[in-house]
Amino acid sequence: MPARKLPAAEPSPRHLAHRGPVLVDSGPLIALFNGADRWHAPVRNWLRDNPRAVLWSTWPVATEVCALLARRIANDCALDFLRWVQRGALVLQPAAEGSVTEVLRISERFADLPFDLADASIAEAAARLKLRHVLSLDADFDVYRDRGGRALINLLRG
């Protein structure tokens, strides 16, 4: 009797590694540089499991990360973050002409959320760069939409 062919198993999430650019909010970056943070291991594991992901962020996010790392841990921790960026682990996207106007529009559109320049800069960069994938610890990213009305995909919470 011939062997029965079994249907192919669904690939595990580990095998569905993300490739290409991902916009990173401040939360995962702070967790990555703070071993005591409850998100430290999940963020580190996500990065390990997604070696082809290219991490992008914005200057408002980098500013927030440095300020919070310096305040919560030590100045040296913020400097370690900047050295990590300098080595190319994170690409900081420059603001483009009209970015401030778009950040303001996004902030006004989602005025029921607490104002967060870093979050708005990620939403603006996502729209401008035509990206939908983000890494964030914030549930706020569940409500942000791109210009086509599609939700951003939070790879850490999804």
Domain boundaries, given as residue ranges, for the chain: 19-154
Angle, CA of 101, 105 and 111, to the nearest 5°: 140
Q: Which residues contact 1 (CB under 8 A, 6 or more apart)?
A: none
Indicate the average pLDDT of the chain. Answer: 85
The Cα 80–Cα 86 span in angstroms is 10
Q: Averaged over 10-31, what is the pLDDT?
A: 76
Whether 54 and 22 have beta carbons less than 8 Å apart is answered as: yes
pLDDT of residue 15: 41
Within 10 A of 65 (CB to CB), how many other CB atoms are there? 27
Q: pLDDT tens digits, residue range 55-91?
A: 999 999 999 999 999 999 999 999 999 999 999 999 9
Higher pLDDT pick, 90 / 7: 90
Q: What are the structure tokens assigned to 98, written together?
A: 């009209």
Q: Does domain 19-154 have CATH number 3.40.50.1010?
A: yes
Q: Averaged over 42-57, what is the pLDDT?
A: 95
pLDDT of residue 63: 97
Chain centroid to Cα 154, Å, comes to 8
Q: What are the structure tokens assigned to 38, written together?
A: 């409850």
Q: pLDDT tens digits, residue range 111-141?
A: 887 778 999 999 999 989 999 899 999 877 6
